[in-house]
Structures are given as C-alpha cells and as structure tokens.
Amino acid sequence: MGKVSKGKLILLLMLCLLIIAGLYLAHRFLTDRAVSYDNIEMHFKYGSLGGERNLGIPYWLWQAVPHLCPELLPDKRPDDSGLEALGMLYEPGKSLPVGISTRRHLGLDRVFMNCAVCHTSTVRASTDAEPKLVLGMPANRFRLMQFEKNFFGCMSSQKFNRANIIPLIISLGADLDLLDRYLVYPIAIWLTQERLALLEARLGFYKQQPEWGPGRVDTFNAAKAVFNWDWDRATREEMIGTADFPSIWNQGLRKQRDDGNAMELHWDGNNDTVEERNLSAAFGAGAIPTNIDHAALSRIEDWLLTLPAPAYPFAIDNALARQGKPIYQQYCADCHGKSGRDFSGTYVGHVQPIEDIATDRWRLDSYTRELAQNQATLYSTSEQHRFKRFRKTNGYANMPLDGIWLRAPYLHNGSIPNMRDLLTPAAQRPVQFYRGNDVYDQRNLGFVSDETHAYARPLFLFDTTVDGNGNQGHEGAKYGTLLSSQQKDALIEYLKTF
C-alpha cells in the first residue's frame, strides 16, 4: 500500500509540474498583448494595428540591424539612436521610432509599422532650430524604399545568423533566459529570414524602379504583389506608380462633396469610402483581416475625423493675404474648396481627367482595371472586410488644401518643390531639386530644396526627367501660372492661412 501511495504521489507531483509548465508556456507563448496608450496621440505614434501578428520583427532583431549592417546605412552618424539615416524619427526616451508599434506575441516583443510612419514628420524654422513633430502630415523625410532595401537586406544576409545575433543583442541589453537563447531567438532568426524572403519575392518590383527618395511610396504595385502579379508580363507603365505620402487631417470633411456623393479619394480617386480607404492602408501596414486590431484602428479613425491641420506657425502679412483671397476664389476654389476649413466647391473630390490636368500619368496608368477587379475579390469570404469601392479612373482627384503649407513638394508625385514653382509654367520649373529637408521656406511655401544636406546627412536629389517624376501639367491661365508676380505673392500669402 505504501509503495502504491508513493507512486501515486510521484504521478501527482509530475502532473502538477506538467500543469505548471503548461501554464507557464501558455502564458509565455499564447499571450497576445499590444503596448497600449490612453493618449490618442501616443496611440497614433506607437499603437499597434495588429500587423505584428503577421509581419512582426522581434524587438531585439530590429535593434540589432544598425549595428550588424552599418555598411547599409552609409549616412549613419555616431550619435544616432537607430535608423535616423533612413529618415525615421526618434523622440527623447523612446527606443523605437515614431510609427513603430510593439505587441507581445508568440513569446516575443514584436514590432512593425503603423499609420504614423507614413504620416508624421518634422518642421524647422532654420537649420539651428529644434524640429517640431507634426502628426498627420506626409512623412517627407522617411525613405521607405531605402528601408526595404537596407533593413530587409541586412536580415536576409549571411551575417544575420544565430552566432552573430545572440551575442550582439545581449551586448545591446537583451536579457535572454536559456529558452530565449537556445530556442526562441534561433527560431525567430530563421522565421524572420523566411518571411522576408517571401516578402522580398512579392515586393521585388521596386528593384526595377528608379529610386523613390524620401516621402514617397508605390502603394498599388505593392498591392499587386498580394495577387502574385506576373511582373514579367507587366508593361513599363504598369511598373512605376510612385507618389507622395498624403496628409490625413479632417477625414470627416472628406466623406461628402457638394453634389451629395462621396469624395473620390487616393491620388487618382480610385475609392470613395473613407473607412475602406483606411482599411486598405491598415492592410499596407501588415494588418490583414485575420489579425487586424479593429478597436485600435477605430480609435485612430475617430480621431482623424476631426483632427485639424496645424496652423501656419510663421508670420503672415494679413493685408497681402486679403489681396490673395479673391485670386484664390477665382482660380482655385472650384477645385480645392473655399478655404482650408470649408471644402465646398463644384469640382472638389471629383476626378479631373488626365487630358485636362496633364500631370505625370505614371501613377494613374500603374493602377489597372485588372488590379481593381482583383481587389474586389480580396478577402471575399469576409463581407465586413471585402473591398467594394475600388475602381479604375481616368485622371487625378481634386483635393482640399487644408494644411497645404505642410504638403510640399507638390503634385501627386512630389515633383515641384514649392508653391511658387507650382504657379510657374512647367518649362520654368526646377528640373532637379533636393528632397527630405524639414527647414521651411517661408517665402515660397515649401521646404528648402536647394541645400544638399540636412542633419549632417546628404539629401536626395530629385530628377524630374526620370520616369514617374515628371513635373508637367497643372499650368495655363486657369491654373494661375500666368498670374503676375504680385498676384502670386498675394495668393501664396493667402494659402498660408490654410
């Protein structure tokens, strides 16, 4: 009897240990918890949309890249926190840049992008002034193509292996237990390389494109990758659709135009539903229907409905601005709204045919009817998430101009550095200029574009003769390019009030 009791006791003890171990492993590897913020601005900058579940990079692997592959960050400075050389923005006390969120998932803190990475930047009054972070503006310093090439390139290189990574992340401060060191991170390193190999195969189109430069993205060629697009049969016109990141203020005012219908959104007006457009953007950040955090996305959507564009922070000549108001009403209001807060206008939110506006058509042509049809089938098993409003258009949408002072360079492809140049006939516009500066050009309404460096790093030389970078169009009498110098001065001054 004693032996039986002892055996039962051992079995019971083993069962308890198994239960405890199971609970520990379940807690460690089944926890799914995002870092949360009550403050909506912090939530926008660092809150998760769920993309870490799908494409999340382990936190310490993210931190290792600048140290493991410094040759891929040639503009890196000794005092950089991480990826400033790629135009990412770091706030004091933060180990991750703005636009990178964290979620505890599958036993690791995993990080990935959110909305803010493409829709936040900085402004300075001069080279020696402190930069001011502005939420909702285009991320005109972020070099997304360079990030994809350099950051992902490091993770797919031969040096990205357990022997190099484990000692490196320990030296950076990672507190790894035995499970982390010998199981979790070795598997994470392998899985990260596998995922990136798949992602690189899908996004390989960018290797056949000219350099985008900062503040730009090819959104819909990336969307084609979801459908395993046959790049070999794609025409050159379909391969290049690079455009600037847009601003995202006042989304509630973009739900309806003068005729009672919805505004046509995206640069080419290929969707007219704010919510569907937001969902599409969230998918671009890795949040697919099976993993998207709807509550987190809804918080941002609700906030953006009424988020105003920041007021112009520099001096305004109010008398000159008053002279510019009637000029704006005559030449601009029908297409771009009565003001930066009143979006009413006969053609606001309508697609302007490419034959009329005559701007660079590469972005328009890259979005094909076939892609629009495919998007309608994406996630078709989920009625809640299925795209219903994407369509092919024949031009570019007339947009409201709220916060126009922060949206330079201008036109959909960012091919014109400032407002004064936009009001100039195309033949007289700069053929080349530098992008990526955050020092503001108060006279010309744009960012300084004739300096070669900012933050002791070289800026990107933008060439308008490159495919997709054309600066033609939006010119002639009805577009204001024939106005006198005095009239242009007044109009620019009035636009500062937007």
Instruction: Give yes or no for a contact between 119 and 49, defined as CB atoms under 8 angstroms apart.
Output: no
Instruction: Give yes or no for a contact between 317 and 230, defined as CB atoms under 8 angstroms apart.
Output: no
Report the pLDDT value the prediction gives residue 383, as an integer from 0 to 100: 61
Q: What is the mean pLDDT of residues 10-33?
A: 81
Of 205 and 404, the one with more pLDDT: 404
- What does the alpha-carbon distance between residue 168 and residue 190 come to, in Å, rounded to a whole number? 16
Q: Please report, to the nearest 10 degrees, the dihedral formed by the alpha carbons of residues 458, 147, 248, 229 taken in order.
A: 130
List, for residues 296-350, the tens digit of each pLDDT value.
989 999 999 999 999 999 999 999 999 999 999 999 999 999 999 999 999 999 9
Question: Is residue 421's pLDDT more than 80?
Answer: yes
- What does the alpha-carbon distance between residue 192 and residue 370 come to, in Å, rounded to a whole number? 32
List, for residues 244-294, the tens digit of each pLDDT value.
999 999 999 999 999 999 999 999 999 999 888 888 887 777 767 677 888
Report the pLDDT value the prediction gives residue 1, as an integer from 0 to 100: 46
Report the pLDDT value the prediction gives residue 202, as an integer from 0 to 100: 67
Please give the share of the chain, as a percent, with pLDDT higher than 70.
96
Report the pLDDT value the prediction gives residue 440, as an integer from 0 to 100: 98
Residue with tokens 């056949």: 208
List, for residues 32-52, the tens digit of each pLDDT value.
899 989 999 999 999 999 888
Going from N- to C-terminal start, the domains of the chain cover 25-117+144-211
Residues 6+ apart with CB under 8 A from 480: 327, 331, 332, 423, 487, 488, 491
**Average pLDDT over the chain, rounded to whole?**
91
Confidence of residue 227 (pLDDT cuts 50, 70, 90): confident
Q: Please report, to the nearest 10 degrees, the dihedral formed by the alpha carbons of residues 164, 165, 167, 168 taken in order.
A: 100
Of 160 and 21, the one with more pLDDT: 160
Residue 255 corresponds to which tokens in the numbers above? 């739900």
Q: Please report, to the nearest 10 degrees, the dihedral formed by the alpha carbons of residues 323, 324, 330, 334 taken in order.
A: -140
List, for residues 182-205, the tens digit of each pLDDT value.
999 999 999 888 877 777 766 677
- What does the alpha-carbon distance between residue 305 and residue 277 come to, in Å, rounded to a whole number? 13
The model carries a pTM of 0.91
List, for residues 358-392, the tens digit of each pLDDT value.
999 999 999 999 999 888 877 655 566 678 889 99
List, for residues 457-466, the tens digit of each pLDDT value.
999 999 999 9
∠ Cα 374 379 380 (to 5°): 80
